Amino acid sequence: MDLDPVIRSFSSWAENSQGKARFSVESQRQDLILLKDYLKEQKTEIEDVDGVFLQGFIDELSLRYAPSTIARLTSTLHSFFGYLNLMYDMPDPSTLLKTPHISRHLPVWASSQEMEAVLADFDQSDKGILDKTIVTVLYCCGLRVSELCTLRANDVRLDQKQIRVLGKGEKERIVPLVDECVQQMALYWNVVRQPKASASSYFFVSLKGLPLNRQYVYRLTKNSALNHQLSPSFSPHSIRHSFATRLIENDTDLRMVQELLGHADISTTQIYTHVDTSRLVGSVDQALKDPGLNFDEFSAGPSSDNVNALNPSLGSRKKSKSEPESDTEIDSQAGQKKQ
Confidence check: pLDDT of 338 > 60: no
Q: Encode pLDDT of 208-232 as tens digits.
A: 999 999 999 999 999 999 999 998 8
Q: Which of 71-85, 143-157, 297-311 has the lowest mean pLDDT?
A: 297-311
149 CB-contact burial (10 Å; exposed 0-12 / middle 13-18 / buried 19+) = buried
* CA-derived radius of gyration, the chain: 22
pLDDT of residue 106: 67
Q: Encode pLDDT of 193-212 as tens digits.
A: 999 998 999 999 999 999 99
Residue 127 in contact with residue 216, Cβ under 8 Å? no
> Sorting pLDDT into bands at 50, 70 and 90, what band is 152?
very high
pLDDT of residue 227: 93
- Give the count of beta carbons closer than 10 Å to the beta carbon of residue 35: 21
Q: Any residues with CB less than 8 A from the CB of 42 and at least 6 apart, and which?
A: 53
- Give the count of beta carbons closer than 10 Å to the beta carbon of residue 188: 23
Most confident of the following: 3-12, 270-279, 286-295: 3-12
Residues in the chain, total = 339
Instruction: Write out the catalytic residue numbers.
Output: 144, 168, 237, 240, 263, 272
Instruction: Report the share of the chain in percent with pLDDT over 70.
Output: 78
- Give the count of beta carbons closer than 10 Å to the beta carbon of residue 262: 27
- Give the count of beta carbons closer than 10 Å to the beta carbon of residue 320: 18
Q: Any residues with CB less than 8 A from the CB of 52 and at least 6 apart, and which?
A: none
Q: Any residues with CB less than 8 A from the CB of 183 and at least 6 apart, and which?
A: none
Residue 241 in contact with residue 109, Cβ under 8 Å? yes
Q: What element of type H or E holds 115?
A: helix 112-119
**What SS3 class is residue 30?**
helix
